Amino acid sequence: MPPGLAATSHPALSPADAARFEAALFGGDESREWAAMQQAARAIAAAVLRDFDEIGPLPPEPRILVLAGKGHNGGDALLAAKFIHEKHPRARIETCLVFGERVLRPLALRAWRELSHAPPCRARPCVAPRLTDGENSRPDARSGPTSILPGPPFDIVLDGIFGFQFRPPVEPRIAALLARVNASPARLRAAVDLPSGLGTPDVFLADFTYATGIVKSPALAEENRAAVGRLRYLDLGFWDNTANPSPVPADPPAAAILTPAVLSPLRVLRSPLTDKRDYGHLFIVGGSRGYPGAVIMAALAALRSGAGLVTVFVPETMAAACAARAPEAMWVAWPETPEGGLALEGAHLFRERADRATALLVGPGLGREAETLALAADLAKLSAVPLVLDADALQPAIVGAGAASRILTPHVGEFARIAAALPGAGAVTVLKGPVTRINDGGATTHHSLFGGPVLARGGSGDLLAGLIGGLLAQEPAQPLLAACRGAVWHGLAADRLARAQGQRAVNITQLLDHLAGVLREDVPAAAAGKVTSGK
Ligand SMILES: NC(=O)C1=CN([C@@H]2O[C@H](COP(=O)(O)OP(=O)(O)OC[C@H]3O[C@@H](n4cnc5c(N)ncnc54)[C@H](OP(=O)(O)O)[C@@H]3O)[C@@H](O)[C@H]2O)[C@@H](O)CC1
Ligand SMILES: Nc1ncnc2c1ncn2[C@@H]1O[C@H](COP(=O)(O)OP(=O)(O)O)[C@@H](O)[C@H]1O
């Protein structure tokens, strides 16, 4: 693993390994566990409120439901509700202690006391068996347990019934509660650490799952995606202590989670003595009469990547319009086929300039004409610089051509198309989707959890390809790092875009205006109140 990734990509663990890891980290010391619970809860509260911005502002009196079990998962949820309440003192918090108050473990009880005694908190217990339709859901200051479901939709539901100590099955009473909560309208459903009942049919259905301290591997499993929703990793600093005494997982891990810190080297001052040639020169080959926009979007993203120079080869009838849209790039007009794709006869234009490139991106908007694909295969074969192959260039005959290192950026459909050609290609594969999985043929798959459905629109992949291409042009010897950084940067910019404008009324090129903000915001400080080893 490149050194730039080792410290900024944290292992995902099985629940059993996570339990062992935490046991060793805290050494059974309750004060340290309490500190960790506070830190986890603050992080959950902050993340939930931040993610709510994708919907809009919280109403003045948000209605919040907390489902709490007896353990630390419940404690985290209860304390998170307390911290949300501190920010929104008029919040109406309804708390369902699903096993009752008497069985709460010490820290969960302490969390419950903090929540219910925090003046003027209106948190009131709702006991699961009393969840009847007829009861008034608005807790009154002195009333006892109330019903949770009638009334207006909850703004936030926080699920803290079971965390990584869950053992199936879910007992019928709790299964019924979960079914009822799942069927009730709610604006944002948040699972603490893991959705309760994960792996069974009786599972909490989350919009977001907030993994505290460690991502547990079931949260990454494809079959659990519908229940997990969007997975957020809340880095609590568990991996910062190099002298960690815990049973460290097998090295290298099968799955690792990328953190925003992978972008830190992009936040440093550049040397005053440099010029544009020190920051790489990306060549992009793409565009066709049928798809003129994709290559423009890739070029726009490359221009924001920090690359010093970007040259784009496009069909000749497009070049003038492209130059008007992005004059910062050099647009080379390439002879066209009758259908408007790149013709083989233009290859000399590329060859004449080839020694200036430090990386090459082929694919955005290329089209699938046989002549153009043959040209793309020739370019891949002859390239002396690392490649990014995207979109229509993701064909078995192209991904396997030539010896230059390469990054492939398929979505699931494109991945299926090239899968057979991958073993010999020695490529870094960026498998795009709600979670983006990056692998260079090694044992570890790096996961970018950033970005969300705001990206589910045409063009977001073109922006990613341009960004990765631009990063690769700057560090041609580090394709894995370029791929990981590109995915994280793109995803974090998408999250910022969705928080600023919501998920709907968006043009995907607006993501470009959030790339700078990602680099200029603080890396979330796992360090705040860092949890340290007891040894
Ligand atoms: N230091 C901290 O504060 C940190 C806290 N973190 C948080 O703590 C969570 C782990 O907390 P935890 O160990 O208390 O276990 P948790 O999953 O809440 O279960 C509680 C109990 O439920 C029970 N139970 C299990 N299955 C059951 C079933 N089917 N039906 C009924 N009961 C069932 C079982 O008890 P038993 O039945 O054995 O008495 C179990 O012990 C973790 O996921 C994360 O959210 C960390 O991430 C950060 C550091
Ligand atoms: N629901 C989603 N959540 C997170 N990311 C998504 C989601 N849908 C799409 N994306 C991301 O958007 C991009 C889509 O790429 P792609 O399918 O190639 O789109 P296009 O070809 O239209 O540009 C990828 O980076 C993918 O990870």
* Element holding 517 (H helix, E strand): helix 512-520
For ligand 1, the distance from its centroid to the CA atom of residue 109, given in whole angstroms, is 13
Between 127 and 461, name the one with better pLDDT.
461
Distances in Å between the alpha carbon of 85 and those of 49, 101, 171, 409?
A: 11, 21, 31, 43
Query: Is residue 360 classed as helix, strand or coil in its secondary structure?
Result: strand
Tell me whether residue 68 is annotated as binding.
no
* Whole-angstrom distance, CA of residue 341 vs CA of residue 337: 5
Distances in Å between the alpha carbon of 209 and those of 187, 206, 224, 233, 473?
A: 14, 6, 11, 8, 35
What pLDDT does 131 receive? 38
Write b or e for each residue in 299-313: b if 16 or more Cβ atoms lie within 10 A of its Cβ, otherwise e. Answer: bbbbbbbbbbbbbbb
pLDDT tens column, 216-256: 999 999 999 999 999 999 999 999 865 555 555 657 899 99
What pLDDT does 150 receive? 74
From the CA of 457, the nearest ligand is 2
What pLDDT does 46 receive? 98
pLDDT tens column, 523-534: 655 434 344 433
C-alpha dihedral sign at 22, 26, 29, 33: negative
Task: For residue 464, give the ligand 2 atom closest to its CA.
Answer: 25
What pLDDT does 240 receive? 84
Contact 106, 28 (CB under 8 A): no
pLDDT tens column, 78-116: 999 999 999 999 999 999 999 999 999 999 999 999 999
pLDDT tens column, 415-453: 999 999 998 788 999 999 999 999 999 999 999 999 999
* Whole-angstrom distance, CA of residue 386 vs CA of residue 469: 9
Is ligand 1 within 6 A of the CB of residue 213?
A: yes
The answer, yes or no, to whether residue 122 has pLDDT greater than 70, is no
Task: For residue 409, give the ligand 2 atom closest to its CA.
Answer: 18
Is ligand 1 within 6 A of the CB of residue 209?
A: no
| Strand ranges of the sheet holding 445-448, from the earlier edge strand across to the other edge | 215-216, 9-13, 255-258, 445-448, 436-439, 428-431, 406-408, 387-389, 359-362, 281-285, 309-315, 330-334
* Whole-angstrom distance, CA of residue 189 vs CA of residue 200: 18
DSSP of 214-246:
SEEGGGG-GGGHHHH-EEEEE--STT--TT--S
Nearest protein Cα to ligand 1, atom 43: 163
| HEC assignment per residue over 374-387 | HHHHHHHHHCCCCE
Contact 201, 494 (CB under 8 A): no
What pLDDT does 121 receive? 58
Between 9 and 136, name the one with better pLDDT.
9
The answer, yes or no, to whether residue 149 has pLDDT greater than 90, is no
The answer, yes or no, to whether residue 374 has pLDDT greater than 70, is yes
Between 149 and 201, name the one with better pLDDT.
201
| HEC assignment per residue over 439-494 | ECCCCCEEEECCCCHHHCCCCHHHHHHHHHHHHHHHCCCCHHHHHHHHHHHHHHHH
Task: For residue 459, give the ligand 2 atom closest to its CA.
Answer: 23
Query: Is residue 301 classed as helix, strand or coil in its secondary structure?
Result: helix
Task: For residue 462, give the ligand 2 atom closest to its CA.
Answer: 23
* Whole-angstrom distance, CA of residue 272 vs CA of residue 214: 40
Tell me whether residue 341 is annotated as binding.
no
Task: For residue 411, give the ligand 2 atom closest to its CA.
Answer: 17
What pLDDT does 243 receive? 55
Kindly state the percentage of the chain with pLDDT values over 70.
Answer: 90
Tell me whether residue 446 is annotated as binding.
no
For ligand 1, the distance from its centroid to the CA atom of residue 167, given in whole angstroms, is 10
Between 4 and 31, name the one with better pLDDT.
31
Nearest protein Cα to ligand 1, atom 11: 72
Q: CA gyration radius for the chain? A: 26
Write the ipTM. 0.93
pLDDT band at 128 (very low <50, low <70, confident <90, very high): very low
pLDDT band at 124 (very low <50, low <70, confident <90, very high): low
Contact 347, 383 (CB under 8 A): no
What does the pLDDT average to over 41-53?
A: 98
* Whole-angstrom distance, CA of residue 153 vs CA of residue 256: 36
For ligand 2, pick from 409, 411, 430, 484 the residue to mutate: most ligand atoms within 8 Å of CB. Answer: 411
CB count within 10 Å of CB 457 equals 12
Say which range, 7-21, 23-37, 247-261, 400-414, has the weakest mean pLDDT.
Answer: 247-261
Selection from 134-148, 241-255, 267-281 with the highest mean pLDDT? 267-281
What pLDDT does 138 receive? 35
Tell me whether residue 365 is annotated as binding.
yes
Nearest protein Cα to ligand 2, atom 14: 461
* Whole-angstrom distance, CA of residue 376 vs CA of residue 365: 12
476, 480, 482, 484: CA torsion to nearest 10: 180
Distances in Å between the alpha carbon of 10 and those of 163, 195, 254, 434, 483?
A: 20, 21, 11, 19, 17
What is the pLDDT of the chain when averaged over all its residues?
Answer: 91
Kindly state the percentage of the chain with pLDDT values over 90.
Answer: 85
The answer, yes or no, to whether residue 142 has pLDDT greater than 90, is no
For ligand 1, the distance from its centroid to the CA atom of residue 191, given in whole angstroms, is 13
The answer, yes or no, to whether residue 395 has pLDDT greater than 50, is yes
Instruction: List, in order of start, the domains of the chain with CATH numbers.
Output: 3-240 (3.40.50.10260), 276-519 (3.40.1190.20)
Contact 414, 427 (CB under 8 A): no
Q: What are the phi and psi torsion angles at 159 (to 5°)? A: -100, 115
What pLDDT does 529 receive? 39
* Whole-angstrom distance, CA of residue 468 vs CA of residue 57: 33
